Structures are given as C-alpha cells and as structure tokens.
Amino acid sequence: MTLEAGLLSGLLVLALAAFIWGRWKPEIVALAALMSAAILGLVSHDAAFAGFGHPAVITVGAVLVLSQGLTTSGLIGGLTRPLERLQKRPILLLSGLTLTVALLSGFINNIGAIAVLMPVAIRLARESGKPVSMYLMPLAFGSLLGGMTTLIGTPPNLIVSGFRLNAVGEPFRFFDFTPVGATVAAAGIVFILAAGWRLVPRRSSRVTSEDLIKVGRYLTEATVGEKSPVVGRRLREVAPREVQILSIIRGKDRIPAPSAMRTLKADDLLVMIGESNAIEQFVKEHKLELVGQNDEINPELIESDDVGLAEAVVMPDARIVGASAASLRLRNRFGINLLGIAREGSRLGTRLADTRFKPGDVLLVQGSRSELLSDMADFGCLPLAERTIGLGQVDRRWRALAIFLAAIVSVAVGWLSAPVAFAAGALLMVLSGVLSLRQAYAAMDWPILILLAAMIPVGLAIETTGLAGAISQTTLAMTSFAPIWLLLACVLVATMFLSDLVNNAAAAVMMCPVALAVAAGVQASPDPFLLAVAVGASCAFLTPIGHQSNLLVMGPGGYRFGDYWRLGLVLELIIAVVAVAALMLFWPPR
C-alpha cells in the first residue's frame, strides 16, 4: 500500500467514526474529510470542489424539486384516498400503505413519499384503535425498497450511475435498475406483508395529543383579581417561560393562544399549563385566585375556529434541531405554544421550554390554524395532519404530471441526460407556477447535496491513490478460490453493513471504487458489482440512523433504537440471497 493510500485509509476510518458518533452533522464530517484530503494532497485543489457540479448532485437537487412539485400540486396526495376503504382491515391497510410508498419512492424522494403517507397511516391507525407502530416501520422499509427500482429512486443509484460513467463511458439508464431492484423490492415486501410485520414491536402506549399534555404537567385555571399586579400589563411581561397561557376567558369571550402583547384585565380567567411548582409560584407571585387544576384537557378551552392544536415530527435536518422553545422564542415571535414532546415513545413532561429538540421528536403545539402547519413546515417539521387540496391546486396537477413524465421519458429514451432533463423539469415547475421560487429552494435537501458534493472527490481518491486496488487485492487473496457470486455477495453485504452505520449516499461513494477494483481483479463486468453497491446502500434496515426514513418514523411509532434489527436483520438476509441471484440472472458478470 502506498503512503497516499495509507493516509486516505486513516482519514476514511476517522470519517467513518465521526459519522457513527453523530456529534457533528454528516455534511460537516464530509466537508472535513474533503478539506483534509485536499490539504494532505490526496485530492488535487482543482478537483476538490468538482463534486458541486457533479451530475449526481445536480440530478438529486432537480429530482427533489420535481418531487415537491408533485406533492404540492396535490397529485401524490390524491393517490392515498383509496386507502380510506381499508381502515377496518389492518393487513390490507398495511399492504396498501407499503405498496403505495414503494411505488412512489421509485419516482419521488423517499422522504416526500413518507411525508404524504405517514399522516394517513397515523390517522387511520388511531381511528381503528390499532397501534401506530404496526404500520410505520413497514412504511419506512417500503420506501427504501421502492427506491431501488429506478435511476432517481434514491441518491445512491445516481452515484453508482456516475461511477459507471467514469469507468465505461456511459451511465446506467433510467430503468436499468428495475429488473434487479423490482425483484428485490418484491421479495422484501412479500416477506414484510406475509410474516415480517409480526416482528414489528407493538407499543401499547400510542402517543396522542391528550397523552402529550398529561405527564407531569397540569392544566390550571386562575382568575385575575382587581388588586393583582398583572392588571394592565402584557402577557410577555408577566408570564415566565415555564408557564404557558393557553387561553383567556373574558366574560363570554374566549381567546385561545393569546398574543404575547395581549393586555390582562381584572376578572380574566387564565387557562395555563406548566409544571406544578412553576404554576404555584406564578399564582402566588401575581396574587391570582386559583380556580382548579387537573391533568385533563378540555379542548373547548384552548381551541376555536381560529386556534387549534397540531402534531409535528422534527425532521432529521430540521433547522430547530439543537434549539429549544425558549431559545427560538416560539411564543413571543411566532405565537406558538409548545404543549408536549414525545421522544422514542416516551413523553417528556418537565422543563419543555428548555428541552433541545432532536430528530424524530413528536411535538404538540398550539397556534393559529391558518399558519400553524406552514410555520412548523418552515421549521423543518413534518405536520402529522393531511393538508387539504385547494381549488387552485387542482389545475396544477396535470401541469406537474406532464412536466415529470416528460423528464422521465426524455431520459428513458435517451433524448436528454438525466441532469439536463430533470434540471429543465425543475425549472419548468417554477415557470409554470406549480412551485414558487421559495418552495423550490425549500425543496432542496441542502445537507445531502453538500454531503454528496464533498464525498464524491474523496470517493474518486479511493481509486486514484490505489486504496481501492489494495482492498481489492486483499479481498481476492482471501477469496482466491471463491466463485464470482460470492464476491458479489461480499460487496453487497459490506455495503449493507456500512449503510446501516452511515448515510447511504456516503456508503455508496466509499464502496463504488472498491466494487470496480474487485470486478477488474477478476476480469468481470463492473455492472453487477456496481448494482450490488446500489442495492446494499438502500438496505439500511438495522438501525434508525441508517436512513432518514427510519429516523422519521421513530418518534411517531414509539420505536426504540434496538427495535429495527428484529425485522431488519431477517429482511437483509432475504435481500442478500435474492439480490445475488437476480444480479447473476439479469447482469451476468461474464
């Protein structure tokens, strides 16, 4: 092994450890790895930022915009309506949800497919009395399986296609992934629906809006007396952050979620929520008259035609991750009251204002009905409520569908390259009015784009420094008499393992050079080895951190970190067997 290869291997080990540790965001780790490689001379300065113009990065960004256009237009949401009829038949509903998300994930972003279907699954589960956990893990796994089936189904497929372009001068075509991907996806979905769903943990304590408010927090009613020092003062001047005023009853008028600028008057009845000691101190300090206190919530007191409650999940890359309600000043700046947080199925009941948000947290909030869902979406949270389709959106459905189909057809028949076709489609989404420019920018998953752009030069360095060749030689020496299908299995399983620990796009970037080197070492076609990387990168079933879809359902499903491997391990074993057989059948190595 050369000095450069040794340095790069050490750098990759450190990067892998940082990815697994999770102390820094993946895109920061990727950028640090890129800068370190450039400083050490492992990546030339001219090539260090070439990844930002790489076809895979451009295509991923464009597909995200196209996916957002389909979702915003209401076209994708319309596909969920037939699922309503399956509410009373749990297995059929599970089948419908899993098959629908797999189909959507082949053509739109995995997270976009989850965002459309998860609110439907949660609502139907609650209405039927079934545990939400029964549906959400299969939903997440179905989105990963569906992503294998087309070029744009998941970023690793685009990365693999880019490495093929560099290796043989031609990328994979749109449906080149379909024979193997569809076979593997079908096998995985059949297993989940036939028996695998029994391995999903059933959480009896399903998180509901009422549950989120109860634990350790008390709804208190207190009257403002004429001699109270709060008379004539604004809410923001008197209410501590540990106490939230959910409603003011003034005579016959009810004012839910009052503004922080609202002036208090004598005889006002304040409906508050907070920890008992904070409520007690607030009542005593301001000479309020305690009326009642209990752990039950009366929706009539805190909701109205204009004010309501909403649940939302903190997305993995939400801009509020690491912040708290107090630091964001949710109440004073946005008129939003945080009423509860659920984390990994457990409800957090104390010091909510100072609790720092984590990916997967389920938040219960109160605010303006007209703005609450859009405000939470702006924060990077997924509202767990179905959005209504406005009349203006109906006309945009056909425009969105026509643009999307035109982009796919132009790529499938070879008229345009994927980056050009999908970038043009994204532009047309804006020019045709399907999306606003702001919505298009918001659709970009900037962390994944930065991670891809940073890791691609590092991945190419694995080959140019000779590290891929060294790994290939070691692998071939250990399996010198092994049949070629076993080498395919080794590449696939190694990618699976890596994808369970780090971002699947990063796993694909690291494994593609190794796959190409192994194929060259046995004088085989690189195609089945690259496709083995594509399949393995989509099989992050053992942990919630392997893919954003897994992490996104963790909070609403009440899952724990160790819940995923029970279904995921068996699923990965089945996929490994089926994928190797499909690769040998559809893409013979020789």
The more confidently predicted of residues 475 and 491 is 491
d(CA 217, CA 226): 28
Burial of 251 (0-12, 13-18, 19+ CB in 10 A): exposed
At 425-471, the pLDDT tens digits run 999 999 999 999 988 988 888 888 999 999 999 998 998 898 888 88
Task: List b or e across 137-150, with b for residues whose CB sees 16 or more CB atoms inside 10 angstroms.
Answer: bbbbbbbbbbbbbb
pLDDT at 299: 64
| CA-based nearest residue to 353, from 326, 321, 328, 322 | 326
CATH number assigned to the domain comprising residue 226: 3.30.70.1450
Q: How many CB atoms lie within 10 A of CB 476?
A: 15
In contact, 194 and 132? CB cutoff 8 Å: no
Q: For the chain, how far is it from start to end, CA to CA, in angstroms?
A: 29
Query: At residue 334, does pLDDT exceed 80?
Result: yes
In a domain, 130, yes or no: no
In a domain, 433, yes or no: no
pLDDT at 390: 42
Query: At residue 250, does pLDDT exceed 70?
Result: yes
Tell me the pLDDT band of 293, cut-offs 50, 70 and 90: low
Mean pLDDT estimate for the chain? 87
pLDDT at 527: 96
Query: At residue 243, does pLDDT exceed 50?
Result: yes
Residue 251 identity (one-letter amino acid): G
List the domain range (segments joined by +) for residue 239: 218-294
Query: At residue 402, does pLDDT exceed 90?
Result: yes
d(CA 343, CA 554): 8
Query: At residue 359, does pLDDT exceed 70?
Result: yes
pLDDT at 312: 87
Tell me the pLDDT band of 218, cut-offs 50, 70 and 90: low
For the whole model, what pTM was predicted? 0.82
In a domain, 288, yes or no: yes
At 76-133, the pLDDT tens digits run 777 777 888 888 888 999 999 999 999 999 998 888 888 888 888 888 887 888 888 8
Burial of 583 (0-12, 13-18, 19+ CB in 10 A): buried
Query: At residue 151, does pLDDT exceed 70?
Result: yes
Question: How many residues belong to the chain?
Answer: 590
pLDDT at 211: 54
How many separate domains does the chain show?
Answer: 1
Query: At residue 386, does pLDDT exceed 60?
Result: no
At 5-58, the pLDDT tens digits run 899 999 999 998 988 887 888 899 999 999 999 999 999 998 999 999 999 999
pLDDT at 298: 63
In a domain, 530, yes or no: no
Q: Any idea which of 196-205, 468-477, 496-505 has the lowest mean pLDDT?
A: 196-205
In a domain, 393, yes or no: no
Element (H, E) at 509: helix 504-521
In a domain, 422, yes or no: no
Q: Any idea which of 93-107, 395-409, 476-490 has the lowest mean pLDDT?
A: 476-490
Q: At what angle do helices 133-146 and 548-557 cross, to 10 degrees?
A: 170
Q: What does the block give as tokens for 50?
A: 């070439």
At 157-175, the pLDDT tens digits run 999 999 999 899 999 999 9
pLDDT at 216: 42
Query: At residue 300, does pLDDT exceed 80?
Result: no
Phi and psi based region of residue 216 (left: phi greater than 0; alpha: psi -120 to 50; beta: remaining) = left
At 256-281, the pLDDT tens digits run 888 888 999 999 999 888 777 788 88
Q: Any idea which of 16-30, 88-102, 288-302, 370-384 has the lowest mean pLDDT?
A: 288-302
Percent of the chain whose pLDDT exceeds 70: 93
pLDDT at 392: 43
pLDDT at 349: 62
In a domain, 242, yes or no: yes
In a domain, 274, yes or no: yes
pLDDT at 62: 94
Query: At residue 214, does pLDDT exceed 70?
Result: no
